[in-house]
Amino acid sequence: MNTGHRLVSKIVIAGLQDAIWHELTKQGEPQAAVFNAWLHAQALEPGRGIQMRTASGNKVIVVGEVVEYDPPHRFVHTFRFTQYDDPPCTVTYELTPVAGGVEVRLIVDNLPVGTPTGKSMESGSKTILDTLKEVVENGRPKLATRLMYAVFGWMEFVLPKRCDARHWPLDQNWGETQ
């Protein structure tokens, strides 16, 4: 397996940097840009655990650890899909004011190429940024995206049992391969 690959995606969003930051780091409600997953965190500070869960909270989709948190400029965390045995990678969001809005860079380091994680991140990064742009500029995702999210909610039961929240306590350090 080839590791160490870097994936960089970027987009310019005609919106306020604080609004974009809020969409990427909010808790207690779905993150429309991130496939409607709910961010759960011990705290948004380095060394603390994070999870992305389904709306019901019964399934954990992603686990990781905050590496860097510099509002509203940079958010770095480790990232591991719970349904795969792939090694973790590191996800970085960088927000930089530019003419016409804010450039958002989504960087994935140590992407495990050729793995389910690698394939998901390669296709998902563009979707996340495009949806983030829709949410910030228009108040919500496109209808097709909203319908896809509704199907995700109905189909939660197809996620493997290994994604059950009881297997992924938030206080565990999931930044490293277990």
Closest among 136, 77, 60 to 101, alpha carbons compared: 136
User: Omega into 72 within 30° of 0, i.e. cis?
Assistant: yes
Closest among 177, 173, 166 to 48, alpha carbons compared: 173
Question: Residues of 101-130 as b/e, b for ≥16 C-beta within 10 angstroms?
Answer: bbebebbbbebbbebebbeebeebbeebbb
User: pLDDT in tens for each of the 178 residues of the chain?
Assistant: 445 699 999 999 999 999 999 999 999 999 999 988 999 999 999 999 999 999 889 999 999 999 999 999 999 999 999 999 999 999 999 999 999 999 999 999 999 999 999 999 998 999 999 999 999 999 998 888 888 778 777 788 888 899 999 988 887 765 544 3
pTM: 0.89
CATH superfamily placement of domain 2-157: START domain (3.30.530.20)
Which helix H or strand E contains 126, and what residues bound it? Answer: helix 116-138
d(CA 62, CA 18): 24
**Would you kindly state where each structural domain of the chain is located, as residue ranges?**
2-157
**Digit-coded pLDDT (tens) for 40-58:** 999 999 999 999 999 889 9
**Digit-coded pLDDT (tens) for 22-42:** 999 999 999 999 988 999 999
Cα end-to-end span (Å), the chain: 18
Task: Specify the pLDDT at position 141.
Answer: 87
d(CA 121, CA 111): 8
Q: How are strands ordered across the β-sheet holding 74-81?
A: 2-13, 101-113, 89-98, 74-81, 60-70, 49-53, 37-41, 30-31
